[in-house]
Amino acid sequence: MNKTKIIATIGPSSNHPNIISKLIRSGMNVARINMAHCKDKTHLADIVLNIRNEADKLNIHVGVLMDLAGPKIRLDLHSSSKGGFEVKKDHIYQLGYSKMNDLSINIELVFKNIYNNNSYVKIDDGKINFKIIKADGKSIKIKALEDGMLQNNKGVNFPGIDIDVPCVTSKDINDIKYAAELNIDWLALSFVRTAEDINPIIKVLEEKDSTIPVIAKIEKPEAIDNLDGIINAFDGILVARGDLGVEMPLSKLPYLQKSIIEKCRYAKKPSIIATQMLESMIHESQPTRAEVTDVANAVYQGSDAVMLSGETAIGEYPVEVVEIMKDIIVNAEDDDCHFNKSEKISIEKQKDNRTAIGDAIKVISKNIKINAIVIMTESGSTSIVVSHFRPTEKLYALTPHQSVCKRLTLIWGVVPILTPKFLSTDDMIINAEKILKDKGLIKLDEVFILTSGVPVGITGSTNMLKIHRVTD
């Protein structure tokens, strides 16, 4: 079983009950819905229903991640450009919001601080590049640096250019409300720049009496400058290497990825690595050697999850790509070096019950043979903390809340199990053993560590650790 979780984007290639079922059986832990391509609330509800119905049939917990569109600047080509827009090297084009431009975009912008000698536009994650040669405020003239074919809805980046757009759009606000109504498990916010960018989302969620955790997508240089505050404010971090690699020098990406994962580990927040993980498999049945190494490196670095985008959304091999990603992950996790850095998580400045228990579990498992770690949890927070110590033992989170089970599908190594609500500590221990035995997860005479809160059923009360041997 893979401990590093797999997020797969649901799109035209995969939004069918049969395909979703195969994705789940192949190893998909979390299904991502990209709201930039979701038509309306009905379309969203249909996708969510397909995911949850197939997960229920298989009796497997699958989380749903709603990826908010945010102020993503995209091509909005003329209807006459359905086959794409051909770009010729050295030709001059006008780009702006108006349909009168050669290349129109979906957001009205006012361009400022544009320096003609060193300002560029990058389209489709930098696959086609242009140099800015003139700006009049709401449109710019750009010179193509290579030939190419542009497709509608592809991303447009203006690295180094000051563009004043809100982090949360009116569409995002409506989508957040839909997320609350549909009990979506995770939200992801695009183009986060500061810790304060989460505030509009929190406001909407509070109005809807919802507590959906929010992930910050790191795509802008400003986010790197404010990274510590963003990690502290948000519930997780997604390294969106596509836009980040366009906005910043590509050579910095490996270091940034490694650094962000380490910071998240220290803060006990989940990290996700995304973009071009196995992109060649959009059209090919096998990945490149470089892609395989890239996925394995994300595992070695300690990422909680890796994400597939176009590979499963529009690709020709959505099921096969999940199978291959799982195989890469499992083989990487079998390598002892995967756990080398788990000892380096310092708790000096993180003295709380959950962290102390996570550290204690690590120490105990070094001295006696432990077959499993069992966490009785109301909110899932202790499971997240223990996970970030990267234990080699199997990690089971038992909770009476379906929503907690689904949210924990994103967390490294955690296997969520839905249980009845227990009334006492003795009741909890007896039934935890029975549940695990019935599922074939532990055997007679095996030993597991059980941690919980006493009294039972109170969120945030983790204060007990027990070493328990399985008996008849």
Q: Give the domain CATH number at 248.
A: 3.20.20.60
- pTM listed for this prediction: 0.88
189 and 57 fall within a common domain: yes
Pick from 37-41, 86-90, 200-204, 276-280: least confident:
37-41
Examine the pLDDT at 347 and tell me if it is beyond 70: no
145 and 102 fall within a common domain: yes
Segment 218-243 shows an average pLDDT of 94
pLDDT of residue 456: 67
Gap between the Cα atoms of 28 and 54, Å rounded: 12
Q: Residues with catalytic annotation?
A: 32, 74, 217, 275
Residue 57 or 458, more confident: 57
310 and 351 fall within a common domain: no
Hey, which bits of 175-304 come out as E strands?
186-189, 214-218, 236-240, 271-274
Q: Give the domain CATH number at 151.
A: 2.40.33.10
Indicate the angle between helix axes 318-333 and 289-301, nearest 10 degrees. 50
User: Is residue 278 in a domain?
Assistant: yes
Contacts with 29 (C-beta within 8 Å, 6 or more apart), sequence order = 5, 6, 7, 62, 63, 305, 409, 410
Q: Which parts of 368-420 fold into alpha helices (H)?
A: 381-387, 402-407
Gap between the Cα atoms of 53 and 361, Å rounded: 36
User: Is residue 338 in a domain?
Assistant: no
Examine the pLDDT at 348 and tell me if it is beyond 60: no
User: Is residue 311 in a domain?
Assistant: yes
pLDDT of residue 17: 97
Examine the pLDDT at 337 and tell me if it is beyond 60: no
291 and 431 fall within a common domain: no
User: Is residue 223 in a domain?
Assistant: yes
Examine the pLDDT at 460 and tell me if it is beyond 70: no
User: Is residue 340 in a domain?
Assistant: no
User: Is residue 339 in a domain?
Assistant: no
User: Is residue 313 in a domain?
Assistant: yes
Q: pLDDT for 444-455, tens place per residue?
A: 999 999 988 776
pLDDT of residue 16: 96
216 and 354 fall within a common domain: no
Domain that holds residue 129: 79-157
219 and 313 fall within a common domain: yes
Examine the pLDDT at 361 and tell me if it is beyond 90: no
Instruction: Single out the residue in 265, 298, 333 at which a domain terminates.
Output: 333
Q: Which of 104, 105, 114 is nearest to 159 (CA)?
A: 114
201 and 135 fall within a common domain: no
User: Is residue 67 in a domain?
Assistant: yes
225 and 131 fall within a common domain: no
Return the amino acid letter for 407. R
pLDDT of residue 360: 85
150 and 243 fall within a common domain: no
Sort 446 into a burial class: Cβ within 10 Å, 0-12 / 13-18 / 19+.
middle
pLDDT of residue 461: 65
360 and 459 fall within a common domain: yes
Return the amino acid letter for 242. G
274 and 306 fall within a common domain: yes
pLDDT of residue 243: 83
Q: pLDDT for 304-329, tens place per residue?
A: 999 999 999 999 999 999 999 999 99
Instruction: Single out the residue in 132, 157, 182 at which a domain terminates.
Output: 157
Q: Give the domain CATH number at 365.
A: 3.40.1380.20
- The highest-confidence range among 53-67, 239-253, 379-393, 410-424, by mean pLDDT, is 53-67
Gap between the Cα atoms of 180 and 39, Å rounded: 18
62 and 148 fall within a common domain: no
Q: pLDDT for 106-140, tens place per residue?
A: 888 877 666 656 788 999 888 899 999 888 778 88
Mean pLDDT, all residues of the chain: 89
Q: Which of 129, 133, 151 is nearest to 142 (CA)?
A: 133
Return the amino acid letter for 294. D
Examine the pLDDT at 28 and tell me if it is beyond 70: yes
Q: In what order do the strands lie in the sheet with 139-144?
A: 103-104, 92-96, 139-144, 128-135, 120-123, 156-157
Instruction: Single out the residue in 157, 191, 212 at which a domain terminates.
Output: 157
pLDDT of residue 81: 67
- The highest-confidence range among 107-116, 144-153, 199-208, by mean pLDDT, is 199-208
Segment 402-407 shows an average pLDDT of 96
Distances (CA, A) of 144 to 30, 86, 245, 263: 39, 11, 20, 39
HEC per residue, 212-232: CCEEEEECCHHHHHCHHHHHH
Domain count of the chain?
3
